[in-house]
Structure 1
Amino acid sequence: MVSEAESMARESVIVVIDGKRSKGMVEPLDWALKHVVRRKNTVIVVAILGDMGKKNATQCFPLNMRFDFSGILEKLEFSISSGHAEVKPRDLGEEIERKREQFQAILQPFSKQCKRNEVKLEVKLAAGICPEEITLKEAENANTRWIVLDSHLKKYKMCIYWNVECNVAVMKGKDVATLMPSRAPKPDCSPVSSEQADAETWPDDPSLNDQETGNQNVIEEEESSIQPAPRGPSWCPLQFRPGFPREFLSSEIEEITNGFSDIVCQEENLKVYEGVLQNTPVIVKSIQDDEQFWSMLTILSRVRHRNIMNIIGYCCTATNRLLISDYPCLYSFAMKLQCDVSAINLSWRARWYTATEIGGSLRYLHEECPDGPIVHQSVCSSSIVYSHGCSPMLSNFMTAKWYKGDVPFNGNSTGKCPNLEEDKQLYVDIHDYGLFLVELISGKVAGCFPHENEGQSLIDWALPLLESSSVTQLMDPRLADKEDDLKVVHCMARAALLCLKNDSGRSISISEVLAVVRGDQHAVLQL
């Protein structure tokens, strides 16, 4: 029987750092050792190195190597991504040696500190692999209590948080971290509570106790500012709760975003910030293009569907054009397909269900909107997102247009579509939906298809296989092909071919395509 002490010894803390930078690289490790690591824990440092000079990487596989760092590191693991069938350590030559020497120097003091307190230190270098994917894999393989993320990797925090049951800390600066408490049922004692402060420190090193005491208020303050989203059978996104959508004041947006301090991404005409509203994660989009803002607001203020990511509000001032929506906590379908861990969890039935739900949202836009058809124009796996506890939702209405109807929101913009034939406009979405079906079946993301630079698109690769009914060659090899599952895959494949190559000589509606996805035999015979 395993003793309690032995069980605790197997607990681990995963520290994910940006290994490409030198300044501040070890701040997450330093913070973890001060605040959350216990005696006899295992600390797994995962250093994200990028592609290490490799271009057009398409596959990821581990290369395990042991180095003698005078006993400093027990194991150094490289996950190298390459389009070739095999990569040998010697092929990386000088780059591996440079990283070896760098980490030997940087981690020397931490190694001694860990040894004094019977903490096992492992270091794994990851190149050409998604930080989210390797973090989730490590969390699966270890009895993980905490994951500590480098501030440079904070964009992955929500996806990691909603896929693990341990605590997550995200660095905000030296000795300051935002805490995201575990979603799993907690024991009476919390490792960051004041009662447990003594249990969490290492008595053998008094200086560590002093440092932790000095930063304890910082930890508690950060923890109190972040609460997990409400959960339970009655939980739903803010967009479906009473009182939304509504207009927000600038002061409210300032409070929600903590003074616009956390920016998620920035493009030419768009900035995206994260924030918290009613203890629920939200994103705030700052849209620079005035016409685009009013077009999106006009559309999203009128559509309501369970599979459409809508707004929860807006703010319009002389200097700001802001749209607020729920945070897609489980991220986009494209990100899920690119991460092996989450892709394997997307069974064939789950993918088929996603196809029917997104098809239903397009049918609503094309055929059921009271003010006339809406063309999305950006249907793809990157535009399909998940919020915790929700169905897949169509998002990214940056390019959406009304086909007909004059429905002004503020008198400055009608949101009206260009003068194009309706069938041609709607077919844009139907064609894109067919490509999305190919993404679902193959597990490949259109924008990241490995042969794109060689002139072969995902459609170029998939269409011959669809036409020859070679569906098994198209299927995602990461999933098992059970006989029952093959039926839904073939339904999606027939629908994809119908969308991408229409030989009937007439316009195909999304309703007809959706009937094929669902396996309606009458629809298949008719088409």
Structure 2
Amino acid sequence: MLDALNLSHNELTGLIPSSFGSMGSLTSIDVSYNELEGPVPESRFFQGAPVQWFMHNKLLCGEVKGLPPCTIATHEGRQRNAYKIIVVATVPILLSLVLLAATVMFWHGRRKSKQIISNKETQANVFSIWSFDGVDVFKQIVEATKDFSEMHCIGTGSYRSVYKATLKTGEIFAVKKIHIIEEDYCMNESVFNREIVALLQIRHRNIVKLFGYCSSSKGRFLIYKYMERGDLVETLRSNERAIELDWKRRIQLVLDVVHALAFMHHDCSSPIVHRDITSKNILLDVEFRAYISDFGTAKILNVNGRNITQIAGTKGYLAPELAYTQNVTEKCDIYSFGVLALELFMGSHPGDLLSSLHLTTNKNDVCMKNLLDSRLEIPDAETAREIYGMLSVAVQCLEPNPSRRPMARSASDELSAGFKIYGDQHVDYLDAVLTIPTQ
């Protein structure tokens, strides 16, 4: 009955068991980043599997598109063993020759350094997560986007443009291009590298999947899973699309985001802070599930000391403590999450509400029904109870003092509990009051 099996990054050796081929319920299997070798099990499921599930292994072969046929792979493996014997036998003789050659090449390289630097700008240096056909895939992407023409652009930002690439195979990718701006070269490179480093450490169903990346003279490119429904901010702006995003779906979106934050903050080898949790950086798939995207401002925290950094993020979502300290913590993401949760149920950014409460009154009590998106029908009693529970957690996340905000794990646990602590079925939660903290 197993549906999804992820064995990646486990240093596994040997063969993939042939019995895997008879597991009829499997819809995905990931054995990448191991030391596996030999044939992939023969079954219709494995024949149609993407090569990404098997990348970065010792020597896998089979009928998976992108893997070498087993006859060729076996022959290459035998050749490789023969080469190892020859190399071990000739090492003592070659060592002195290598040292001599290295000396000659060093002096030759010094004379040619200027020429190499000038040529380097015109070379396309492709780095890919795809183990076999990454370069070919990127060529297909260039062709599919007509060399990244505007007609294929689906989004722009300060340092990047996003393109939709539909390959001849039918596969669809979102390709983010980091612009090369001479005066901001270090910033461009930092955004590009930071996003790669963060996403290579994260594997979570609610975090956008990075398939590959490329650095060339044309720019820096990141290749992602394509999200059919685009970003949350555009969905909320459109009346038609916002109505599709009913209360149950909005409740699920809150859970998707908080689960991803809990994973980033508590389950990675070092905590990862996104620093720009906004409705623009929440993408929706065809089933209205949420994915956190755009890790260009992400920071991997040093758990043994302070994490002083420049302010990054979007106005209206920034934690208030960033106005007087540059020490970033997980609580910065939690504040942004609180704003996002309010925005999701209100249907628009809560900035005007928060400003009016701060300027006009010291009493910050708001009736819940006055916070709900008027484009949707009034929720039934059970749904209203769930929404009240989620908004109760959201306003805790807006506490000016970061020590009073919940951690992502506790917020996730409380939200996942389904608001069981408020079990009174007779309370009219539409008229219930929420106290929103102000700065």
Shorter chain as normaliser: what TM range?
0.5 to 0.7
Q: Is the 8 A contact 1:308 1:393 kept in 2?
A: yes
Partner of 1:158: none
Q: Give the counterpart of 1:475 among 352, 365, 372.
A: 372
Between the aligned partners of 2:205 and 2:415, the Cα distance in structure 1 is: 19
Question: Equivalences for 1:223-238 in 2 at 5 Å?
Answer: none
Distance in 2 (alpha carbons) for counterparts of 1:505 and 1:435: 17
Q: CA RMSD, aligned part only?
A: 3.7
For 2:355, the aligned partner's letter is D
Shift of 1:467: 4.3
Q: Deviations over 1:138-192 (max 9, x none)?
A: xxxxxxxxxxxxxxxxxxxxxxxxxxxxxxxxxxxxxxxxxxxxxxxxxxxxxxx
Q: How does 1:258-407 map to 2 (within 5 A)?
A: 258-261=146-149, 262-277=152-167, 278-287=169-178, 288=180, 289-370=188-269, 372-389=270-287, 391-404=289-302
Shift of residue 280 of structure 1? 2.4
Q: 1:440 aligns with which of 316, 321, 344?
A: 344
1:392-437 residue CA offsets vs partner (Å, 9 max, x unmatched): 111121211111289xxxxxxxxx9739999852111000000011
Q: Distance in 1 between matches of 2:271 and 2:197?
A: 13
| Residue of structure 2 aligned with 1:425, choices 325, 329, 344 | 329
Q: Say yes or no: does 1:255 pair with 2:143.
A: yes
Per-residue displacement from partner, 1:321-360 (whole Å, max 9, x unpaired)? 1101122211111112111222122221211111011100
Report the CA distance between 1:442 and its aligned residue: 0.7
**Matched residues in 1 for 2:175 and 2:215: separation?**
12
Q: Distance in 2 between matches of 1:504 and 1:313?
A: 36
1:439 corresponds to which letter in structure 2?
E
The equivalences for 1:35-184 within 5 A come to none
**Contact in 2 for aligned 1:441/1:475 (Cα 8 Å):** yes
What's the offset of the Cα at 1:282? 1.4
The percent identity for this pair of structures is 23
State the distance in 1 between where 2:177 and 2:51 align. 18
AA aligned opposite 1:437: A
- Residue 498 of structure 1 and its aligned partner are, at CA, apart by 0.1
2:72 counterpart residue number: none
- Tell me by how many angstroms 1:260 deviates: 1.9
Deviations 1:475-508 (A, max 9, x none): 1112222111111110111011101126795452
Q: Does the 8 Å contact 1:314/1:323 carry over to 2?
A: yes
Letter in 1 for 2:220: R
Task: Tell me which of 224, 239, 246 is aligned to 2:130.
Answer: 246
Amino acid at match of 2:239: D
Give the unaligned 5+ runs of structure 2.
1-45, 56-127, 181-187, 311-321, 424-439
Aligned pairs, number:
272
Distance 1:385 1:462 in 2: 30
Does the CA contact (< 8 Å) of 1:274 and 1:282 recur in 2? Answer: yes
> What TM-score, normalized to structure 1?
0.46
- TM-score using structure 2 length: 0.54
Q: Distance in 1 between matches of 2:363 and 2:213?
A: 44
**CA distance, structure 1, for counterparts of residue 336 and residue 402 of structure 2:** 18
Distance 2:51 2:357 in 1: 37
CA shift in 2, pair 1:521/1:310, >3 Å: same
Contact kept? 2:227, 2:285, Cα under 8 Å: yes
In structure 2, C-alpha distance between the alignment counterparts of 1:505 and 1:273, rounded to whole Å: 41
Change (3 A) 1:238 1:332: farther
**Counterpart position of 1:510:** 408
Relative distance call for 1:460 and 1:521 in structure 2 (3 A) is farther
Mapped contact 1:375–1:426 kept (Cα < 8 A): yes
Q: Deviation per CA, 1:207-235, whole angstroms, max 9, x where unpaired?
A: xxxxxxxxxxxxxxxxxxxxxxxxxxx9x
Kindly indicate whether the alpha-carbon contact (under 8 Å) linking 2:162 and 2:176 is maintained by their aligned counterparts in 1.
yes
Contact 1:512/1:523 (<8 A) preserved: no
AA matched with 1:485: T
After superposition, give the CA deviation of every residue in 1:439-459 in whole Å (9 maximum; x if it has no partner): 11111135xxxxxxxxx6353
Q: Which residue type is aligned with residue 273 of structure 2?
A: V
- In the superposition, relative to structure 1, how do residues 238 and 376 fare at CA in structure 2: closer, same or farther (>3 Å)? farther
Q: What is the one-letter code of the residue matched to 1:347?
A: D
Which residue of structure 1 lines up, in the alignment, with residue 354 of structure 2? 459
Distance 1:306 1:390, change over 3 A: farther
**Match of residue 28 from structure 2:** none
- 3-state SS of paired residue (1:481): coil
Partner SS, residue 387 of structure 2: helix
CA distance in 2, matches of 1:482, 1:374: 38
Does structure 2 conserve the Cα–Cα contact (< 8 Å) formed by 1:403 and 1:418? no
